[in-house]
Amino acid sequence: MTMTTKKNKSWIAGLLTAVAASLCCITPVLAFLGGASGLASSFSWMDPYRPYLICLTIAIFAFAWYKKLKPQKQVDCDCEADNKKSFWQSKSFLAIVTIIAGLLIAFPYYAKIFYSKPQETKVIIVDKANIATVQLNISGMDCEGCTAHINGELSKVNGVIEANTSYKNGNAIVKFDNSKTSADTIANSINSIGYKVTSSTIIDNK
């Protein structure tokens, strides 16, 4: 195996671990953009391993840069062709791949920009007696981008007045007009895009 092949394997491995580190959040975006929202939480099981994958990615790229910046020993041989480095072996290419890996790792922090903004709530007259609030506990959320995804979907449900989803708390608190929709309908809308409502509790507004 040549030195070039070894170096290529280093950045390839680093890029793959970077993708794996954010796959749990990349998948919902790809599913949303591709119209296959039911796949949104397919890789949510990987979320607990994300810190380890990030550390592995950093270690791989640190090693790759160490090998790239380490002074090379001069060897006298008839291998001038091998000494001519291509772009794929250059520091510039490694820098580009490192930046891509960094963007992949940081993906969960800006994933929400790919989701459509919640529709603006129309000004409607609602009988206070019909206003209800439900707390829905949700599994399958991986990052803040998932909250934007769920809030955007809930804004499409007729009768939903306000929706606040929290990745940190793993739930959504939804205020709605119970003459137009129900807690079950709201839960089903969340389930339809790949997440899972594990329980729901009606909150007394009084």
Give the domain ranges of the chain: 3-111, 115-203
CA 47 to chain centre: 10
CA 21 to chain centre: 9
Give the ranges where the chain is alpha helix by DSSP (H): 3-33, 50-69, 80-83, 91-105, 107-110, 144-154, 183-191
pLDDT for position 148: 84
pLDDT for position 178: 92
pLDDT for position 60: 85
pLDDT for position 86: 77
pLDDT for position 112: 72
CATH for 115-203, among 3.30.565.10, 3.30.70.100, 1.20.1260.10, 3.40.50.720? Answer: 3.30.70.100
Cβ atoms of 115 and 149 within 8 Å: the answer is yes
Query: How does strand 160-166 pair with strand 171-177?
Result: antiparallel
Going by C-alpha positions, the residue among 97, 102, 70 that lies closest to residue 11 is: 97
Q: Give the pTM.
A: 0.64
pLDDT for position 29: 62
Q: How far apart are CA 205 and CA 147, in angstroms?
A: 23
Going by C-alpha positions, the residue among 145, 186, 167, 117 that lies closest to residue 28 is: 145
Could you state, in chain order, the average pLDDT of each consecutive group of 10 residues for the chain (206 residues)? 54 76 66 56 68 84 84 60 66 87 81 67 68 94 84 91 92 94 95 90 77
